[in-house]
């Protein structure tokens, strides 16, 4: 019988031992990788003991200089350059629209909500803001001037060597 062949069993045994060694090596690599990662990337939750009661850090101050910020790419929801402290945004009241609604922009001087905000998901234009764009802060957020938690290597399209239309003299 095949299983009684001692030489075969020996090679099978060796192969099995080889597999175990390979597995151990992979496990060691994964472990080493995790340890290095843990050393180089700061945990987003901070360095405090995760089970300890620690004081929350003060909320950083928002940038409220009223200067509309450049978008990093054309479909980026523009960030909010003003304070939204205490603005009610509920099913019954939408403080944002009290300035950004088309009918009210002349008085408020606020930019009108984008034309895309009137479109429902089938692309049909509605008379008012589409329900899927009603809760503005799902996409638009104020900014705080803080240190990035992780390095960011994002490059603007215009740094990637293309020539913007109309830029030739």
**Position among 62, 63, 82, 102 found at the interface with ligand HEC (CB under 6 A):** 82
Classify the C-alpha dihedral 109-114-120-125 as positive or negative. Answer: positive
**Please, which residue, 55 or 145, has the CB nearer to ligand HEC?**
145
In 10 A of CB 112, how many CB atoms? Answer: 16
* Cα 76 to Cα 136: distance, rounded to the nearest angstrom: 13
Q: How far is the CB of 45 from ligand HEC (least distance, A)?
A: 27
Span interacting with ligand HEC, options 2-10, 26-34, 94-102, 159-167, rule CB under 6 A: 94-102
CA 138, chain centre distance (Å): 12
Closer CB to ligand HEC, 34 or 143, in the complex: 143
What residues are paired with 125 via a beta bridge?
119
End-to-end CA distance of the chain: 87
Q: Shortest gap between Cβ of 12 and ligand HEC (angstroms)?
A: 60
Among 62, 63, 102, 110, binds ligand HEC (CB under 6 A): 110
**Structural tokens at position 28:** 């060691």
Looking at beta carbons only, is 11 or 114 nearer to ligand HEC?
Answer: 114
Which one of 114, 120, 143, 158 is in contact with ligand HEC (CB under 6 A)? 114
């Amino acid at each position: 019988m095949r299983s009684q062949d001692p030489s075969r069993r020996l090679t099978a045994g060796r192969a099995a031992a080889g597999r175990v060694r390979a597995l151990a090596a992979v496990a060691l690599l994964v472990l080493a990788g995790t340890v290095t990662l843990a050393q180089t990337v700061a945990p987003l939750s901070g360095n405090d003991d995760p089970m300890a009661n620690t004081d929350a850090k003060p909320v950083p101050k928002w940038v409220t200089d009223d200067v509309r910020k450049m978008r990093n790419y054309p479909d980026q929801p523009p960030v909010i350059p003003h304070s939204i402290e205490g603005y009610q945004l509920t099913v019954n009241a939408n403080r944002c629209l009290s300035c950004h609604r088309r009918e009210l922009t002349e008085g408020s001087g606020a930019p009108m909500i984008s034309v895309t905000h009137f479109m429902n998901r089938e692309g049909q234009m509605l008379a008012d803001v589409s329900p899927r764009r009603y809760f503005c802060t799902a996409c638009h957020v104020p900014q705080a001037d803080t240190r990035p938690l992780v390095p960011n290597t994002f490059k603007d399209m215009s740094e990637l060597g293309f020539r913007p239309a109309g830029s030739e003299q």
